[in-house]
Structure 1
């Protein structure tokens, strides 16, 4: 099945502690049905000092969100569902709210 959310898409969080926040998808974890969104769902990790990071300490990093908890943002800034249609000989994604083709 084709991916409805891809790397680089602008998404909004629909549920959880960061509900309403927007960000760009940095990574899609296909097998786990999860996405990493820039600046959203930050968790703190306690890291031990290593040669690469001699300081160690408490670091913030993004945790994965389930794809059902995010939605693509359309050109008007509203969350939208994604559909597929054939244009010419290519299968393209489009926003269900506006009908516009989504780049990528």
Structure 2
């Protein structure tokens, strides 16, 4: 969250950045975004070369993709870039 705040301050609130790391680090970030206790991060499965999309806001985080091994994450990233708020009603995989 601190890194996201720093990048937002430097580049604007709509900044998009990528973190490339080992699975345990990605699992810990996703656990934080899902409000899971860190001790439970191993319950999340992350495949090699998979993509997870997490959007941090000032008061919350939203997980848009988790462990995606296809190319659907590109469409999700475009949707996030065009969106200002979290999707109301739990919309999933909308085109």
The TM-score, its normalising length taken from structure 1, stands at 0.22
- Structure with the greater alpha carbon radius of gyration: 1
Structure with higher helix content? 2
Higher strand share: 1
